[in-house]
Chain A
Amino acid sequence: DQQVKQNSPSLSVQEGRISILNCDYTNSMFDYFLWYKKYPAEGPTFLISISSIKDKNEDGRFTVFLNKSAKHLSLHIVPSQPGDSAVYFCAAIGVGTDKLIFGTGTRLQVFP
Chain B
Amino acid sequence: DVKVTQSSRYLVKRTGEKVFLECVQDMDHENMFWYRQDPGLGLRLIYFSYDVKMKEKGDIPEGYSVSREKKERFSLILESASTNQTSMYLCASSLDSFTDTQYFGPGTRLTVL
Chain A residues proximal to chain B, CB less than 8 Å: 4, 6, 9, 32, 34, 36, 41-46, 49, 89, 91, 93, 98-100, 102-105
Contact = CB atoms under 8 A, between A and B. Distances in A.
Interface residues of B, number: 26
Contact of B42 (A32, A45, A89, A98): A89
Interface of B: 4, 9, 33, 35, 40-45, 48, 56, 58-59, 90-92, 98-99, 101-107
Contact of A43 (B42, B44, B59, B104): B104
B107 A41 contact: yes
A30 B101 CA distance: 16
A104 B41 contact: yes
A105 B99 CA distance: 20
Nearest to A5: B42
Contacts of B44: 102
A105 B104 contact: no
B92 to A, nearest CB: 7
30 contacts: A6-B42, A32-B99, A36-B104, A41-B9, A41-B107, A42-B107, A43-B4, A43-B90, A43-B92, A43-B103, A43-B104, A43-B107, A44-B90, A44-B104, A46-B102, A49-B101, A89-B42, A91-B43, A93-B98, A93-B99, A99-B33, A99-B45, A99-B48, A100-B45, A100-B98, A100-B102, A103-B42, A104-B40, A104-B42, A105-B42
